[in-house]
Amino acid sequence: MTEAKIDRRELLPQLFENPDDYLFVSGLAGAAKDTSALTDDGDNLYTMAGTMGAAVPMGLGVALNASDRKVVVVTGDGELLMGIGSLVTVASMAPANLSIVCIDNAQHGETGGQPGHTGKATDLETIAKGAGFSSTMTITCSDQIKDGVGFLATATGPRFLNVRVTDGMPSTYKRNMDPAACRHRFRNAYLSDG
Amino acid sequence: MTQPSAGEDWSATMFRQMADSGVDLFAYVPDAGNKRLIECADASNEVRTVLLTTEEEGLAICAGADLVGKRAVLCMQSSGLGNCVNYLSLVNGGKFPLLMMLSMRGDYGEQNPWQYPMGQAVDAIFEAMGVLIFRVETPDDLEKATAAALHATGAGAQSAAIILTQKFLGAKAF
């Protein structure tokens, strides 16, 4: 397993220089904190604080129905593995406007840093390939982030980008955790843009 | 083998009602009870179908569709509701007005003992998680229950399930 050298807090601002250009769905815990910090908990973001595993299929539902928008799911290795079958569904539906970014710290950071499967034998990019993704990439050090930017911009969608990060803390951000208020916020912003 | 007691056209009727109400995404785990409905959807150029790997995935897809103003339905066998329970937190807490269509096992005439525990728990689970139930027991119930569920999940802003009982569908023979 390649040693990870990316600090997760520097990742998303470099991957998404103009966050307003995207619709984001994030899984719970660290991914939600990092995307909230990126967008200032914006109305183009729906974060979860439960329903582990739901980020990829929720992003798929958005992407299939907002084909004019670039949709990004930000998830973690634990969250992704809990709903890993959704990679298969995404590959079958093949929405060209969907990118999945997995912040892979090989542990369950939110619950105490318990070791995860990706620190052992499991490789998420290989799983995504097997699910049927033709566009996959793994990056492990900071100078590869620019390659990730190019991948998200030019590779044929759907795209799967796995980012091996160090075991540091996610961004610090106190986001709105009311799921109904956030639904309204996202929905109203999208529909008024349309 | 199935022994349908319902009229052969009910799936086409239900499909037409849903499509006319703006439901344009049919997420499903295959079941004998939704086979023809999904065939109707696949044959239509108004809607799309999404084959799932597990039922809870469908709830998240339908919620994602709602986030951008679209209506969707999750079609599954009653056993799949057990896989969905935690994701009903998203539906309930987020006030997502999601529509489900359940084809029952383990209720009326079931011969497979594995199906009874989950089938008999369906009503209690929906009640516990705040999802309305519209039950179809006779061919006469079908259009009314479907219309009621579409109203509830439309202007009514509730989450709701159409439950196709085995009294309506017929029980699988073993």
Q: What is the pLDDT of residues A89-103, one digit of tens each?
A: 999 999 999 999 999
* Residue A177 located in a structural domain: no
What pLDDT score does B8 carry?
Answer: 65
Which residues of A lie inside 8 Å of B (Cβ-Cβ)? Answer: 23, 25, 46, 48, 50-66, 83, 85-86, 88-89, 92-93, 179-180, 182-183, 186-187, 190-191, 194
The parts of chain A modelled with pLDDT lower than 50 are: none
Does any domain span residue B1?
A: no
Contacts of B167 (CB under 8 A, 6+ apart): B5, B107, B108, B109, B137, B138
Closest CA to A72 of A174, A137, A153, A177: A153
Cα(A58)–Cα(A56) distance, integer angstroms: 5
* Chain B residues near residue A46 by CB distance under 8 angstroms: 67
Determine the residue among A51, A71, A88, A178 to mutate to test chain B binding: the one whose Cβ has the most chain B Cβ atoms within 10 Å: A51
pLDDT of residue A2: 63
Could you tell me if residue A121 is inside a domain? yes
Strand order, beta sheet including A70-76: A45-47, A22-26, A70-76, A98-104, A159-164, A135-139
Does A173 fall in a domain? Answer: no
Complex ipTM: 0.97
- With respect to residue B5, please indicate whether it lies within any of the assigned structural domains: no
Rounded to an integer, the average pLDDT of B13-36 is 97
Judged on CB neighbours under 10 Å (0-12, 13-18, 19+), B90 is buried
pLDDT at A144: 97
Determine the average pLDDT of the residues in B152-157.
98
In a domain, B4, yes or no: no
Position B138 in a domain: yes
Residue B137: inside a domain, yes or no? yes
Residue type, A20: D
- Work out how many domains chain B is built from and give that number: 1
Task: Tell me how many domains chain A contains.
Answer: 1
Closest to A65 (Cβ–Cβ): which among B59, B65, B87? B65
CATH number at residue B155: 3.40.50.970
CATH of the domain at A34: 3.40.50.970
The verdict on B95 touching A (C-beta cutoff 8 Å) is yes
pLDDT band, residue B1 (cuts 50/70/90): very low
- B134 CB within 8 Å of a chain A CB: no
Does the beta carbon of B144 lie under 8 angstroms from any beta carbon of chain A? Answer: no
Res. B4: pLDDT tops 70: no
- Domain membership of residue A3 (yes or no) is no
Does residue A189 lie in a domain region?
A: no
* Contact between A75 and A101 (Cβ < 8 Å): yes
What's residue B172's pLDDT? 82
Task: Please state the length of chain A.
Answer: 194
Domain extent, residue A114, equals 8-166
Q: Residue A140 in 3-state DSSP?
A: coil
Query: Domain span at residue B125?
Result: 10-166
**Cβ-Cβ contacts under 8 Å, A90 against chain B:** none
Angle at B94 between CA B89 and CA B100, to 5 degrees: 65
User: CB–CB of A183 and B53 under 8 A?
Assistant: no
Average of per-residue pLDDT values in chain B: 95
Q: pLDDT digits over B101-127, tens only?
A: 999 999 999 999 999 999 999 999 999
Q: Is the peptide bond before A158 cis (omega within 30 degrees of 0)?
A: yes
